[in-house]
């Protein structure tokens, strides 16, 4: 997600007295004030971890990362396992669990699904507030007996994904997964709470072509791009094929066949 919105009026606040020191630490780390009466957003610290709350009478509910309960738990238990379209898109098959770089991690939902299926995941998130939510969710997940082993397969990097990929050290990821923010014009596409909160902060990923170029240069086996179903492909090389669902599709750019581990 694009690094914008740090000037959007954001304060950090403790939801109760025991969390003042944590709020102060996040305030210093992110360079955000603890007091700002004109703020449009509040990064709140409380018993359930870190959450981002848009302020105002018509604001949607708070956004937080939860890998233990809710949607993540339901998808982990009942989502369809390796039969899910995302699993097929990244090349999961019998004996094949690729090393995947999710270069536009967001709240980590897709990365968690792939990690739960056995993939070693590296995540990059460049918007500092979203990276903070993700870091907090990963930390809480490590303390849960059921998901700790999944979280151990998820390694978070923060900063610009194009820069990270361009200066990559060590073994290249076999698959790079991209889900750039798409410039929606249809307001009905913004009904999801996360999108309503994030879009004023992060905007659209206008550098998606450069992101794809960097991914194709680094990935050893394939690049997968998630798009709204009717959206055009990203400018650049054309995908070899796509997997299409009801609301989204996966454009696949193969470089080399993924084979079962010996």
126 appears as a binding residue in the annotation = yes
Rounded Cα–Cα distance for residues 63 and 130 (Å): 10
Q: Closest by alpha carbon to 68, among 153, 122, 139?
A: 139
CB-based contacts of 114: which residues, under 8 Å, 6+ apart?
A: 86, 87, 90, 92, 100, 102, 121, 177
Rounded Cα–Cα distance for residues 88 and 71 (Å): 21
179 appears as a binding residue in the annotation = yes
| 23: enclosing H helix or E strand | helix 20-30
CA distances from 61 to 22, 77, 190 (A): 22, 25, 14
204 appears as a binding residue in the annotation = no
Residues making up the annotated binding site for S-adenosyl-L-methionine are 125-126, 179
Residues making up the annotated binding site are 125-126, 179
């Amino acid at each position: 997600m694009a690094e914008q919105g740090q000037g959007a009026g954001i304060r950090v606040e403790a939801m109760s007295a025991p969390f003042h020191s944590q709020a102060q630490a996040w305030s210093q780390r992110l360079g955000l004030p603890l007091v700002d009466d004109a703020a449009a957003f509040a990064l709140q610290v409380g018993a359930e971890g870190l959450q981002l709350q848009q302020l105002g009478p018509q604001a949607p509910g708070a956004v937080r990362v939860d890998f233990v309960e809710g949607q993540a738990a339901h998808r982990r238990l009942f989502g369809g396992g390796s039969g899910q379209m995302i699993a097929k898109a990244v090349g999961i098959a019998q004996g094949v669990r690729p090393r995947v770089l999710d270069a536009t991690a967001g709240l980590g939902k897709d990365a968690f699904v792939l990690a739960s299926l056995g993939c070693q995941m590296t995540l990059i998130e460049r918007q500092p507030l979203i990276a903070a939510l993700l870091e907090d969710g990963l930390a809480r997940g490590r303390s849960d007996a059921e998901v700790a082993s999944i979280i151990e397969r998820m390694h978070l990097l923060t900063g610009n994904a194009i820069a990270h990929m361009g200066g990559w050290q060590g073994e290249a990821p076999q698959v790079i997964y991209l889900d750039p923010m798409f410039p929606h014009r249809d307001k009905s596409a913004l009904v999801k709470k996360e999108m309503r909160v994030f879009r004023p902060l992060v905007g659209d990923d206008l550098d998606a072509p450069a992101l794809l170029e960097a991914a194709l240069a680094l990935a050893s086996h394939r690049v997968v791009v998630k798009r709204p179903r009717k959206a055009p492909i990203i400018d650049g090389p054309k995908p070899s094929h796509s997997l299409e669902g009801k609301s989204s599709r996966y454009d696949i750019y193969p470089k080399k066949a993924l084979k079962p581990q010996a």
